[in-house]
Structure 1
Amino acid sequence: MDTAAPFEASVRLGETPISLKGSASASEVQAQLDVGELALSTFAPYMADVLVPELDGRARAVLGMSWRAPQGERPMDLQVDVSSLQVDALRLGPSRRPLASLGALKLQEARIDLASRSVTVGKVLASRLQASVVRDKSGRWQAQDWARPGPAKPDSATPVPPWQVTLADVELDGGNVTLDDRWPAQPVNLAVSQIQLQLKNLQPLASKPPDMPVKLQLRLGPAQAARGEPGRLGLTGSLRLPAADSALRLKANVLAERLPLHELEPYFGDRLNLELLRADASYRGSVEAALPAAGMSLALAGQASLDDFRANTRSPAEDLLAWKSLQVRGLALAMAPGQPTRLAVEETVLSDYFARLIIDESGRINLQGLIKPAEGEAATAVATPAASALVATAPAGPPADIRFGPVSLVNGRVLFSDRFIKPNYSANLSELTGGLSAFASANNATGAPQLGDLTLRGRAEGTAALEIDGKLNPLAQPLALDIRGKVRNLELPPLSPYTVKYAGHGIERGKLSVDVAYKIEPSGQLTASNQIILNQLSFGDRVAGSEAPNLPIKLAVALLADRNGVIDINLPVSGSLNDPQFRLAPLIFRLIFNLIGKAITAPFSLIASAFGGGGPEMSQVPFGEGRPSLDAAGRERLDAVAKALVERPALQVTVVGHADLEFERAGFQRSRLDQQVLAEKRRVLARSGTPPAEGLTVSADEYPALLKEVYRRADIPKPRNAIGIARDIPQAEMEALLMAAVPVTPDALRELAVARAVAVKDYLASREMPEDRLFLGAPQLGRQGDNWRPQAELRLAPR
């Protein structure tokens, strides 16, 4: 046996051929083993001792073995080289509903050194993973029941060195995993699909695992496809596995698109005072995370968004918050045990949003309590949901340092109720657009909260213009703000249900304008003023069956109104947020003085009316922005004016047209474009020999083709292709280019004002008004007052 002798053998194990060949001597053996396709079920009785579910598949392998006897100080050497090992159709569990399966598992360039207890694998490739991860209501994972407990290992006096395992390249090509978690109060069912995973230098048994490169792509969504499209997640970076001497660590660039955050709500919903219906989260940037024993540390830097958000109150279930898109740009977050949490955001944009906003009897905003405090924590006063969540999840330590750059709000709607003011006030605010400048959780150098500049524009109740300006810091604890709000020309008839309940009369007509100012000091001291102006308020007859006190409401309104039909009330409010004190004396005295002044200075205004039941607004004939022609509302108003003037022959009328260059610029250009389109239709009719009908209009179906022809004929700069030919562009872009080419000059606006006056004068003349009683006044250019609208003004004078 001193000389190596070759050997060769072959056998069959069932239907599987196995061949062995090599050479051997007393001190060295070299051999190669080829195993044909072998069913793993052949070894089922052996595997049943350690594995509960059945394991099956078809394996093929080419193995090499090298043994060398010890000599002197050189230890024995025993190695097994795996040239190739492939298992197809690997399955765990029953064949009809396997617990997990792999289409194929391949090992290449593997070496097992039994003497040094090490395993090195060049590449592991797994494909077509299918698995189901289940946790029952008791919190036990199904996989915990797969392995059978083995016999207790006897203590060894001689320590055995641990095995060293290195997988140089691990790839998972295609995988689908479903999660069925029944442990939360509301079960979670998720599907992780299209998994692509690559790991480099994986050492799962090392006491100090290295940082290994990792790439991951997958789709995450609800297990039921009908509940929505899955989101995408891509990750590239490095990963360190947890071990005795190291913590889990991830450092990667992440691209997440529309991950369904609402599907994970059962895991954190107990910390929320709301029901999360929908929230698609996206993130593009870097992530650094670690889980040491002291607690989690996290660092983010990138762009984030939360889209299609919808949340309801729990009891009763009604709309609370919703938005189309929340974009957070320049996000920088740092959290570490014992360190202050730091959050910085360069810019935030919230678009197409809705909020149910309530100020309760104690002065607290309902959105401040969206995050439940943990046991032993005081309730947070943070008013923004994102900041509330951050404060609630931040590790214990110094106060968080939160800094926000400008916040933009686009096209919002707020259903607002103020129960702090008595009587209560509610309003439906829409088309809210504006922003809040930079603010932070830390106080400024003087110790006061850093307040951001707030600007908001919108509409109230769909009819009135709304303006909100001031300063606000939603992170301040307690709440600090200094805000002024204006509502102009709120139509009052929709509020008739309130007046019927409390006064017994419905509102027939009238407008409301409000100027409010709220200032809350850090001490909780509130100072507020409410300037309320009612214009041309008119009540109807008493509603039959009303239980409201039978007061002379119409007489009271007439006495309160000034000679122009305006009621002006100022209601100052001051006190503490904890114990508000309302000072009603100024209001009472103001009412008394108004009544006295009314009786002295305007006694006949109780019965006088310039237009037989109308009011001063009847002297204003509205026009569309930039348009010289009367609309239906204008003609209807002039019909009433003509009827009143015919009954009063001693009066003459001067018609003054109004226009404003900046206010009507867009409307003027739109009007000129409509005229060009109409002229194009007349040209088409003339070319076809069809005489244009009186009152010719352009239908919606005709408009695109006519607009395109106007654009083609227009001598304006146009977008062109590479060879210089004007290319087709969308309708909106054609309109924008044509409108931009319309010159808007002071002379053109003067002509517009004159044309409006002529239109009103001609219409009145057609309603039996003699020409000698109608005059044109000098046009008025520029806005006069906050309530100005495009109009023609009627001025009365004796003949």
Structure 2
Amino acid sequence: MYALSKITSRYWYRSRLFWLLFILSSYTIAGFFILPNVIKDIAIEQIEQNLGWTSSIETVELNPFTLTLTINQFAIQDEQGKTVVSFDRYHNDIELRSLIEGAVTFSNLELIAPYVKLVIDENGQTNFQKAIEKAQADKPVEASTTDDNNAKPPKLLFDSILVDGGEVEVIDHTQSELIEHQLKPISFALTNFSTFVNKAGAYQLDIALGTGQQLAWRGNLGIAPFHSSGFLKVENIKAERLWAYAQNQAPYTLTHGLIGIEGQYDVRMTESEPLLEISNATITLDKLLLALNATDDAFLDIDKLSIGPLDFNLAKQKLDISRLAIDALSLNLERDAQGQLTLLAPFAQTSVTEKPSSGAQAESNADTTASTVNASVPADKPFLWSIGEIQLNKSRLNITDRQPSTPAKVTIENINSRLSGLSQDMTKSLDFGLSYFVESSGKSEISGQVTPTPLNLKAAINIDNLALPIIQPYLNDHVRITLEEGALSVNGNLTLASDSNSNVMNGGFDGAVSINQFNTTDQTINERLIGWQSLSIEPIKVNFNPLSIDINDIRFEQPYGRIIVTEDRSTNLAQLVVANKAPQQAVQESTTVEPTPIEPATEKTAAKTEPLPLNINRILFNNGAAYFADLSLTPQFGTSIQNISGEISGLTSKNAEKASVDIKGTIEDYGKALIKGKINPLSGDLYTDLAVKFDNIELSTMTPYSGRYAGYRIDKGKLNLHLNYKIDKRMLVGENRLILDQFELGDTVNSEESINLPLELALAILKDRNGVIDIDLPTRGNLDDPNFKISGIILKAFTNVITKAATAPFSMIGSLVGGDPEALNSVSFEPGKAALTAEQTGNLEKLAKALNSRPQLMLEIRASVDESRDGEALKKAKLEEKLAAHGSQQRTAALEKIITTTFGQTAIDQIKATVASSVSNENETTPEQATINAQAYETALYNSALKTEPVSSLELTTLAKLRITSIKTQLVAQNNVPNDQVFALQPSLEGQTKEGRVITEFNLTTR
């Protein structure tokens, strides 16, 4: 009561209670009514001064007793009147225990529905930066104060900090396209946070970054010094929104992708260096789509890429990744018509547009880069990293190649691969594995170990039934062959090892290779060309350095080949090759380039010609077949070979070794084929010693050929062909035997290509009594001759035999039975005589032997008489017969009588005068001269008397008949030639004398 009365007295100002009430009321009025307005006005004023923007606050509530501050409906508008910062409610509660704590203590700090709009212009400046710069430009310049970097932060203590329902809107103009981000709702909670040294508070931050995008951050946070540890989780961040910032520098466009990050961390600042540890962290990227351009379809589609768990220690410079897995990757690779991968097109454009920096700038950039690298990675602490395992699961590769005229499309599916133990130490061995399926093929697998440096690979390869038709588009540009089917299988071990000193790759392959159900079609006639049921090569051993190949067995089951001579007389094999169309530029260049001079052979160049070391133990054929047809003939011709079986053993490239050949087959139904001998085709010194036999081949099937080239059909006959080839030191020696049994020509055929020869005669000469033609066809040739062809040599030899038999039959007979062809085709007689000499008798005996063994031959004899020489011989014979009756001593008188009787005494006188004038010395009367004169006179009388002897044509014809009789008697009577094989033709009186003998010629014909 006293205190109250004191207040009401006139000495109220002396009352403590009054002042207590005054202070309390003033504090209350100021706290509840004055300070809120002051805070509101100062806030609005400061915002306008520092930013130049207007702001508004609905209410500011201050409770001076609870020390709480609440601001409601705060907003800042920019120059355009758009809200850039706002919140619905701000509230803090300062505890009185701050006096005891020695720090400003907030029991609660709340921010409800904060909103920030951040606009970034083309130059990278934010709307806040621009506003601050503009506001500062209007203020007077104030002296700057020196910051004390070592000043300790004010002591603050927060029991709880809460942000709820926040939103951040970012509008970015820095890129070519406008980018907008909205981060909402943002929730943040921090407890027991302080600025005390080595104190930390627990926090929790939750941010929604759009539909389905979440950021969760929990842990401890301290700022003196800064340190934080906790757990961070980011879910479903849309990577394509972030990719916009890298789009101008990146060659591709990320059209979709979700990023997830999760893991523990511990970060702190120390006096020496920052420390960062990340543990048990994972990074995931889901639904990644990568395209060349935003409007294109994605060429890369990854369902999920996960990295982790991973551990990182900045101080130790160490990164350990337990696993890197890529699930359901789908990659589309395309090559254009020019052979360029479309994926590499952006790099090609970049290389063209980029300009190298100037020398000084380049050096500066290089120095800066080097210093940055050196500063970030201490020399004594190399960065250590490891990846426990890299996996590619259930992936797919689509390949499109447009360079071939027919685009090739290949799909490799269900690709699974792994690589274990990868680290910065490239000298360690890594385990790897790869499996995949190509189109409709079987499973292919490769597994083993690989060491990157130096390269060392040990791998097991298993390719199961790889479908070969996938290479068809590449075949189309080179050959007109359709690969209908075929499956390649490879099973073996591959080793590779690089020699760091010589940069040579060593290693080899050891395993088996097979191609099954292989079939090709000739596109020109749509018929089967080459194929087999199965081809197996096992075991095969290949050594890479030096290159050598060892094969035990090559087995062909049911091999097949087809050779066709087309209507234009080229082979199907020749027509299958597609001509290369060289570019015009290449043609022009080829015409201007000077030829490179040929250097003389040296030891090094000679060494390059050494054959590849190759050994094949056996090549086996079973139940093979082949077909040959000639469509250029009328009628068309075709034949087949079946049941081809056999083997080639011991095939090697060693010069001293020879391989054995033993192959059999059936031609048509009953013909037989056999190839047997020794070969060495792989050596540098080619060697062949082969016997080839074709027996019991029906010749009637060869009518199309006989019609074209001989002008006759073949009515019947069988062929036996025995060939023997020996090639040694590039020289061919062939002994070929052709046997035609019961060979008969049929009707004639009109052919412009037929040879105009009497083939019936040739066959009659070659065919023996049993109807067999047996011909030896020796061949010789040099393999180095560019015009050399074995088939051409045989055909030429056979043609020569037929031509010789038809055009020079006696020459052929001479080669068959022996003897001089010129002595067999005629008989020469002395003028006026018809007797045979012993030599002629022997020749006729040989001719008789040929006629007896070839009953189809007929011999025509046309006796010739030289009317002059034979007539003179007949005259002499008749005159000698008359003179013989007078004796030798009365010979002169007899001659004088004959002349006088016919010509008179005057003729005798003329003869005497002629003889007398021819004597050089008329006065010489020695006995010897007298004898000479008498002989000259008798000779003159004899020559004159011959003119008195007439010779009739009957006498000449009689002489011809005698000559025929002599020949026929020798042939028919003495050598038993049937009389119906020998024909005497009308004698010829126009015969000629050669070398003093009159020739009677023979002619051969057939029945």
Root-mean-square deviation (CA), in Å? 4.3
Q: Give, in angstroms, the shift of residue 264 of structure 1.
A: 5.0
User: What does the per-residue CA deviation read over 1:610-643, in whole Å, with 9 as the maximum and x for residues that have no partner?
Assistant: xxxxxxxxxxxxxxxxxxxxxxxxxxxxxxxxxx
The answer to whether the Cα contact below 8 Å between 2:204 and 2:219 also exists between their aligned partners in 1 is no
- Give the structure 2 partner of residue 435 of structure 1: 647
Is structure 2 residue 432 aligned with structure 1 residue 233?
Answer: no
Letter matched to residue 451 of structure 1: K
Could you tell me which runs of 5 or more consecutive residues in structure 1 were left unpaired when the two chains were aligned: 222-228, 359-365, 379-394, 419-424, 445-449, 608-799
- Counterpart of 2:232 in 1: which secondary structure? strand
- Counterpart of 2:205 in 1: which secondary structure? strand
Q: Which of 38, 44, 48 is residue 247 of structure 2 equivalent to? A: 48
- Give the structure 2 partner of residue 38 of structure 1: 237
The answer to whether the Cα contact below 8 Å between 2:764 and 2:854 also exists between their aligned partners in 1 is no
Q: How does 1:451-600 map to 2 (within 5 A)?
A: 451-521=658-728, 523-543=729-749, 548-549=754-755, 551-554=757-760, 556-579=762-785, 591-592=813-814, 596=847, 600=851
- Give the structure 1 partner of residue 415 of structure 2: 195
Structure 2 length-normalised TM: 0.49
The answer to whether the Cα contact below 8 Å between 1:569 and 1:590 also exists between their aligned partners in 2 is no
Letter matched to residue 143 of structure 1: L
Q: Give, in angstroms, the shift of residue 192 of structure 1.
A: 1.1
Could you tell me which runs of 5 or more consecutive residues in structure 2 were left unpaired when the two chains were aligned: 1-195, 358-364, 565-572, 580-594, 599-606, 631-636, 805-810, 818-846, 859-1007
Rounded Cα–Cα distance in structure 2 between residues aligned with 1:202 and 1:441: 44
- Counterpart of 1:406 in 2: which secondary structure? strand
The answer to whether the Cα contact below 8 Å between 1:273 and 1:313 also exists between their aligned partners in 2 is no
Q: Give, in angstroms, the shift of residue 417 of structure 1.
A: 11
The answer to whether the Cα contact below 8 Å between 1:562 and 1:598 also exists between their aligned partners in 2 is no
Letter matched to residue 426 of structure 2: K
Q: Give, in angstroms, the shift of residue 47 of structure 1.
A: 3.5
User: What does the per-residue CA deviation read over 1:498-538, in whole Å, with 9 as the maximum and x for residues that have no partner?
Assistant: 212222211111111111101000x2111111111111112
- Give the structure 2 partner of residue 660 of structure 1: none
Letter matched to residue 564 of structure 1: N
The answer to whether the Cα contact below 8 Å between 1:428 and 1:461 also exists between their aligned partners in 2 is yes
User: What does the per-residue CA deviation read over 1:577-612, in whole Å, with 9 as the maximum and x for residues that have no partner?
Assistant: 2356887899965554658467543565789xxxxx
Distance 1:155 1:603, change over 3 A: closer
Q: Which of 214, 217, 229 is residue 17 of structure 1 equivalent to? A: 214
Distance 1:501 1:181, change over 3 A: closer
Letter matched to residue 11 of structure 1: D
Distance 1:21 1:551, change over 3 A: closer
The answer to whether the Cα contact below 8 Å between 2:262 and 2:282 also exists between their aligned partners in 1 is yes
Higher mean alpha-carbon deviation, 474-483 vs 487-496, is at 474-483
Q: How does 1:715-794 map to 2 (within 5 A)?
A: none
Letter matched to residue 201 of structure 1: G
Letter matched to residue 718 of structure 2: K
Rounded Cα–Cα distance in structure 2 between residues aligned with 1:142 and 1:116: 42
- Give the structure 1 partner of residue 285 of structure 2: 87
Q: Give, in angstroms, the shift of residue 265 of structure 1.
A: 7.6
Rounded Cα–Cα distance in structure 1 between residues aligned with 2:433 and 2:523: 40
The answer to whether the Cα contact below 8 Å between 1:343 and 1:401 also exists between their aligned partners in 2 is yes
Q: How does 1:600-679 map to 2 (within 5 A)?
A: 600-602=851-853
- Give the structure 1 partner of residue 618 of structure 2: 406
Q: Which of 536, 540, 543 is residue 327 of structure 1 equivalent to? A: 536
- Counterpart of 2:426 in 1: which secondary structure? coil
Higher mean alpha-carbon deviation, 58-67 vs 81-90, is at 81-90
Rounded Cα–Cα distance in structure 2 between residues aligned with 1:538 and 1:268: 47
Rounded Cα–Cα distance in structure 1 between residues aligned with 2:469 and 2:434: 22
Distance 1:37 1:597, change over 3 A: farther
Distance 1:348 1:465, change over 3 A: same
Q: Which of 332, 341, 344 is residue 141 of structure 1 equivalent to? A: 341
- Give the structure 2 partner of residue 212 of structure 1: 430
- Give the structure 1 partner of residue 276 of structure 2: 78
Rounded Cα–Cα distance in structure 2 between residues aligned with 1:441 and 1:208: 41
Rounded Cα–Cα distance in structure 2 between residues aligned with 1:274 and 1:331: 31
Percent sequence identity is: 23
Letter matched to residue 492 of structure 1: L
Query: Greater helix percent: which structure?
Result: 2
User: What does the per-residue CA deviation read over 1:420-474, in whole Å, with 9 as the maximum and x for residues that have no partner?
Assistant: xxxxx99754321110011211222xxxxx2111000002355411111001123
Rounded Cα–Cα distance in structure 2 between residues aligned with 1:545 and 1:95: 70
Higher mean alpha-carbon deviation, 463-472 vs 496-505, is at 496-505
The answer to whether the Cα contact below 8 Å between 1:10 and 1:17 also exists between their aligned partners in 2 is no
- Give the structure 1 partner of residue 941 of structure 2: none
Q: Give, in angstroms, the shift of residue 485 of structure 1.
A: 1.1
Rounded Cα–Cα distance in structure 1 between residues aligned with 2:450 and 2:475: 26
Rounded Cα–Cα distance in structure 2 between residues aligned with 1:431 and 1:220: 35
- Counterpart of 2:370 in 1: which secondary structure? coil
Is structure 2 residue 217 aligned with structure 1 residue 8?
Answer: no
Letter matched to residue 218 of structure 2: K
Rounded Cα–Cα distance in structure 2 between residues aligned with 1:590 and 1:487: 25
Rounded Cα–Cα distance in structure 1 between residues aligned with 2:697 and 2:532: 26
Q: Give, in angstroms, the shift of residue 403 of structure 1.
A: 1.0
- Counterpart of 1:405 in 2: which secondary structure? strand
Rounded Cα–Cα distance in structure 2 between residues aligned with 1:216 and 1:115: 37
The answer to whether the Cα contact below 8 Å between 1:324 and 1:353 also exists between their aligned partners in 2 is yes
Rounded Cα–Cα distance in structure 1 between residues aligned with 2:512 and 2:441: 20
- Counterpart of 2:244 in 1: which secondary structure? helix
- Counterpart of 1:437 in 2: which secondary structure? strand
Is structure 2 residue 487 aligned with structure 1 residue 280?
Answer: yes
Q: Give, in angstroms, the shift of residue 38 of structure 1.
A: 2.5
Is structure 2 residue 386 aligned with structure 1 residue 166?
Answer: yes
- Counterpart of 2:323 in 1: which secondary structure? strand
The answer to whether the Cα contact below 8 Å between 1:561 and 1:598 also exists between their aligned partners in 2 is no
Letter matched to residue 112 of structure 1: F
Number of residue pairs aligned between Structure 1 and Structure 2:
549
User: What does the per-residue CA deviation read over 1:272-327, in whole Å, with 9 as the maximum and x for residues that have no partner?
Assistant: 88968465321101112357783554510011113344568999999774333221
Letter matched to residue 710 of structure 2: A
Q: Give, in angstroms, the shift of residue 416 of structure 1.
A: 7.5
Q: Give, in angstroms, the shift of residue 231 of structure 1.
A: 4.5
The answer to whether the Cα contact below 8 Å between 2:265 and 2:277 also exists between their aligned partners in 1 is yes
- Counterpart of 1:157 in 2: which secondary structure? helix
Rounded Cα–Cα distance in structure 1 between residues aligned with 2:610 and 2:727: 26
The answer to whether the Cα contact below 8 Å between 2:456 and 2:498 also exists between their aligned partners in 1 is yes
- Give the structure 2 partner of residue 62 of structure 1: 262
The answer to whether the Cα contact below 8 Å between 1:233 and 1:256 also exists between their aligned partners in 2 is yes
Letter matched to residue 370 of structure 2: S
Q: Give, in angstroms, the shift of residue 194 of structure 1.
A: 0.9
